[in-house]
Structure 1
Amino acid sequence: MNLSRSGICCGIAAPVIWLSLIGLAGAMRPEFSHSYQYISELGERGSITEIPMRYIGFGFAGFLYVCFAAALPATLRKGWRAALLAMLIGLDGVGRIGAGVYACDPGCNGLSSSQELHRLFAMAGFSAAILATVVCGIIFRRHPWLGMLSAYSISSGLLAATLLFLMTWEANPIQTPGLFEHLATGVLSTWTLVFAVYLLCASALSDE
C-alpha cells in the first residue's frame, strides 16, 4: 500500500475512532448526558475517561486527520485546490490534538489557562472542519468524479454550522447544548468518512 492510500485509510479510521471513543467514554460514565453535556467533559481533568478521551479520542484521532490531510495533494493532484483542502483538514487535526493536550476543567466551566486553550483549539478545529466541507463542495464541483459530493459537502458544512450556532445560542428554547454539539461532530465525522471512502474507491479504480 503506497503512502497516499495509507493516508486515505487514516481518513477512514479517524472519524470511526473519534465517534467510538465518544460512545465508549459515555458508556463508562452512566451519569454523563449526551444531550446536556459537552464532548469535552468526557476528557475533563480528573475523570475516569480523561486518559482515553484526551490521548486517543482527541490526540490520536487528530494525528490521523493530519495524516489524511498530508495525503490529499498527491491523491487529488489539483494544485492549490488540494493544498487548501489539505490545510483545512490538517487544521482540524491540529485543533483536535491541541484540545487533547489542554484538558478542560471539570464541567468545562473553569477559568484556567488550560480550559481557555482547550476551547480555542476545539473551536479552531470545528471551524476548519466546517470550512473544509464547504470549500470541498465549491472548488471541486466541476471535478469529474469528486463533483458528485459537492452538494453533500456544502450541505454538511451548513448543517454543522447551524447546529453549532444552536449550541451556543443563549436564547435557544431547546436547552440541550450537548445534543447539538454531538450532532454537529457526527455530521462532520460522517462527511470525512464518506469523503475518505470515496477517495479510496476512486484510487483503487484508477490503479486497475
Structure 2
Amino acid sequence: MNGSLNRWYYFSGLLAPIWLLLGVVIAGSLYPEYSHYNQAMSELGAKGSPTHILSPIINNYPLSVLFMLFGIGIVKTFTTSKLARISGVLIIIHGLSSFSAGFFSCDVGCSLESPSREQNIHNISGLILFFSLLFSSLIWIFISNRCLGVKWFGWFSLACSLVAVALLPLMAGAVESGEGFGLYQRLNYGSQALWVFVFSLILLRLKVTS
C-alpha cells in the first residue's frame, strides 16, 4: 500500500479527537446556558435545540468520515492480521454510528421516558458507537506487540478500555441524579478518543505499511 496514502488514513485518526473537542466546544458556545458538566453531547443536536441543525454538521458527519477513513487505513495496512483488520472494521462501524446518531436526533432534553422512534434509533446508534470503539481497543491489548512492536500500547489500550467501562455506572447514576452526566460522558468518550489519537501517532511515527 502507498506510504503517502497511509499517512492520510492515519492522519484522519489523529484529527478526529481534535475535531470532536473543537466541535463540541463551538456548538456548546452557541447553545445558551448549555452545561458541559450536566448535559449530554447529544443534546446539542436534539430536536428544538438552538444547535439542532448545526451540531451534526460540524460534529457527527465530519467525524463519521474521519473515523471511517482511519478504520479503512487499518484494514488496508494490517493485511496479515485478522484481528487487526477486525479492529479496523469496528472503527468503520464507529464512524457509521456517528453519522446515524447525528442524522437521527434525540428528543428535547434526550429524556429516556417515552422516547420517539427517532430517539430510539439515536440511542441504539450511541450504544454501537461506544461498543465498537471499545472492542476495537480491547483487541490491541493482545496484538500490539506482535503487529506494532510496541508493547506499552497494549497496556495503554487496556487502561483506556478500563476507564471507559468504569465510567458507565457513574453515567447511569448521573442520569438518576441529573448532575454530572455531561462530565462523565466526556471522560468516557474522551478515553476512547485518546486511544485513537495515540494509535494514530504510533502509526504515523512507525510508518507502518504492511
Please say whether Structure 1 and Structure 2 have the same fold, judged by a TM-score greater than 0.5: yes
The answer for unaligned runs of 5 or more in structure 1 is none
Deviations 1:121-178 (A, max 9, x none): 0111011111111111223244452333110111101101111232024797794222
Answering whether residue 59 of structure 2 is matched by residue 57 of structure 1, we say yes
Q: Distance in 1 between matches of 2:41 and 2:99?
A: 14
Q: Distance in 2 between matches of 1:27 and 1:178?
A: 15
Percent identity, aligned pairs only, is 28
The answer for unaligned runs of 5 or more in structure 2 is none
1:74-89 → structure 2 map (5 Å cutoff): 74-89=76-91
Deviations 1:10-52 (A, max 9, x none): 1111121111111111122241111211110011123222223
- Contact 1:54/1:101 (<8 A) preserved: yes
Answering whether residue 196 of structure 2 is matched by residue 192 of structure 1, we say yes
Deviates more, 1:106-115 or 1:142-151: 142-151
* Number of the residue aligned with 2:184: 180
Q: Residues 174 and 147 from structure 1, CA distance in 2 versus in 1: closer, same or farther, beyond 3 angstroms?
A: farther
Q: Distance in 1 between matches of 2:179 and 2:82?
A: 42
Partner SS for 1:140 = helix
- Contact 1:138/1:154 (<8 A) preserved: no
TM-score by length of 1: 0.89
Deviations 1:52-92 (A, max 9, x none): 32122111101210111001133234330221110111111
**What displacement does 1:94 show?**
1.2
Answering whether residue 91 of structure 2 is matched by residue 103 of structure 1, we say no
Report the number of matched residues. 205
**What displacement does 1:106 show?**
1.1
Q: Distance in 2 between matches of 1:139 and 1:174?
A: 40
Q: Distance in 1 between matches of 2:110 and 2:178?
A: 20
- Contact 1:43/1:51 (<8 A) preserved: yes
Deviates more, 1:136-145 or 1:175-184: 136-145
- Aligned partner of 1:178: which letter? G
Q: Residues 107 and 148 from structure 1, CA distance in 2 versus in 1: closer, same or farther, beyond 3 angstroms?
A: same
- Aligned partner of 2:81: which letter? G
- Contact 2:38/2:178 (<8 A) preserved: no
Partner SS for 1:111 = coil
Deviates more, 1:117-126 or 1:51-60: 51-60
Answering whether residue 105 of structure 2 is matched by residue 119 of structure 1, we say no
- Contact 1:99/1:117 (<8 A) preserved: yes
Q: Distance in 1 between matches of 2:187 and 2:15?
A: 19
Q: Distance in 2 between matches of 1:12 and 1:99?
A: 22
1:29-68 → structure 2 map (5 Å cutoff): 29-68=31-70
User: What is the Cα-based RMSD across aligned positions, in Å?
Assistant: 2.2
- Aligned partner of 2:153: which letter? L
